[in-house]
């Protein structure tokens, strides 16, 4: 029997059908490699653009001090870690970074993961099961959504940033273990969770609280330790996930928690147990980033000056911009409108990526502007001037 040739493989047909559907819906995506380090200005295919699409909030991704720390780590530890942490993939670089992050986050213990996505999947699936209930904010990151599903717990989605609704749902959904999961700063809208109210609701109902501080770590708090620090809730939150890949400019993630929870995750979080650990050189660079965040608040202060300046400028253009975070959405509605707006901005030297479903709900495609301490006043003025020239219908623009 002769097997069909490559051109007749059914999986190719499946793929082509799905790709055509994405193209028709305006949701086809393409990679655009940078030929420069990450920064306020980048080069793509020979074109220099002001970059308003990265999460490099403090401008540390290409900081020479992090580069040197990584080089020193490479010389000492080599490139790869060789195995998972539980085999021979542990090192003093991993241990040192965890201890440093525990001090930074004022936590009993910190456990490293390879990404924020892996951390949320690992945490939720390790702690919950079919007899449990997890309560998830309606606008939580995909990693929390997928972690909830993977846990096999009953998932109850509560209205965005609504502690009163969460209170009612906790009253009507019993379970063996109950956990509330929320972003601290919501990655597509840039607003903050009402953590003080959520802590009170969880305390009243005996529920645990997981807070994803991916976009808050390095940005909020007197020492840059996040929203929990800013609100004085560090000891009130059971699990605080943070990334090394955004304001800290590196790669990887961690959870800050209490000792018994950290040890349980060490044994049960499959995304940790079955993954080769972070390269030690990355841990060395991240350690230097934490030191900079703690000891040099000037970059954070510059970032917040930029946030206030851009928020004011956007409000002058009719966008309801809030000074909550470095993330500013300009919601335009349909995917085609966001793509066209991004194209027009790019013609003026600005890289502002359009965000479309499934990253955001249908009908809420947007420009997502992300600020950095590396952006200059001239960069911000260039952006505001370009936005003012876009022919959008102000009645349908939101932030």
Residues recognised as catalytic: 187, 215, 246
Cα distance between residue 251 and residue 195, in whole Å? 26
Q: Which two tokens stand for residue 365?
A: 């495609």
Q: How far apart are CA 198 and CA 203, in angstroms?
A: 8
Q: Rounded CA gap, 292 and 247, in Å? A: 11
CB 350 within 8 A of CB 49: yes
User: Is residue 352 within 8 Å of residue 345, measured between CB atoms?
Assistant: yes
User: CA-CA distance, 223 to 293, in Å (whole number)?
Assistant: 7
First-to-last alpha carbon distance for the chain, in angstroms, is 61
Q: What is the DSSP string of 111-135?
A: EEES-HHHHHHHHHHHH--TT-EEE
Q: Enumerate the β-bridge partners of residue 239.
A: 210
Question: How far is the C-alpha of 345 from the C-alpha of 27, rounded, in Å?
Answer: 19
Which helix (H) or strand (E) is 82 found in, with range? none
- List beta partners, residue 253: 113, 243
Q: How many whole angstroms separate alpha carbon 249 and alpha carbon 58?
A: 8
């Amino acid at each position: 029997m002769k097997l069909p040739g490559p051109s007749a493989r059914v999986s190719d047909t499946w793929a082509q059908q799905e790709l055509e559907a994405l193209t028709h819906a305006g949701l086809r995506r393409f990679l655009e490699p940078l030929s420069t380090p990450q920064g306020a200005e980048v080069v793509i295919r020979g074109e220099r653009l002001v970059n308003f699409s990265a999460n490099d909030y403090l401008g540390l991704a290409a900081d020479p001090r992090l580069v040197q720390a990584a080089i020193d780590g490479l010389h000492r530890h080599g490139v790869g870690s060789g195995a998972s942490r539980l085999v021979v993939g542990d090192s003093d670089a991993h241990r040192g970074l965890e201890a440093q992050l525990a001090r930074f986050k004022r936590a009993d213990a910190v456990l490293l993961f390879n990404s924020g996505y892996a951390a949320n999947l690992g945490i939720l699936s390790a702690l919950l099961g079919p007899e449990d209930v997890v309560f998830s904010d309606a606008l939580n990151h995909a990693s929390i959504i997928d972690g909830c599903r993977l846990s096999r717990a009953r998932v109850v989605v509560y209205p965005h940033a609504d502690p009163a609704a969460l209170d009612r749902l906790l009253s009507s959904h019993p379970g063996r273990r109950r956990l509330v999961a929320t972003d601290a700063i919501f990655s597509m809208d840039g607003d903050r969770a009402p953590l003080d109210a959520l802590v009170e609701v969880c305390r009243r109902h005996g529920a645990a609280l997981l807070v994803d501080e991916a976009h808050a770590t390095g940005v909020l708090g007197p020492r840059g330790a996040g929203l929990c620090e800013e609100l004085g809730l560090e000891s009130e939150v059971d699990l605080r996930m943070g990334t090394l890949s955004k304001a800290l400019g590196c790669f990887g993630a961690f959870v800050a928690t209490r000792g018994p929870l950290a040890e349980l995750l060490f044994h049960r979080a499959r995304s940790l147990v079955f993954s080769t650990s972070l390269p030690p050189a990355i841990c060395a660079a991240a350690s230097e980033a934490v030191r900079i965040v703690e000891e040099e608040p000037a970059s954070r202060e510059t970032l917040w000056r930029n946030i206030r300046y851009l928020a004011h400028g956007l409000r002058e253009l009719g966008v309801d911009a809030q000074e909550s975070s470095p993330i500013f959405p300009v919601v335009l509605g349909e995917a085609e409108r966001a793509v066209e707006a991004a194209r027009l901005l790019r013609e003026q030297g600005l890289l502002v990526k359009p965000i479309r479903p499934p990253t955001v709900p249908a009908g809420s495609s947007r420009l997502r502007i992300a600020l950095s301490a590396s952006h200059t006043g001239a960069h911000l003025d260039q952006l505001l001037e370009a936005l003012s020239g876009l022919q959008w219908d102000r009645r349908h623009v939101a932030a």
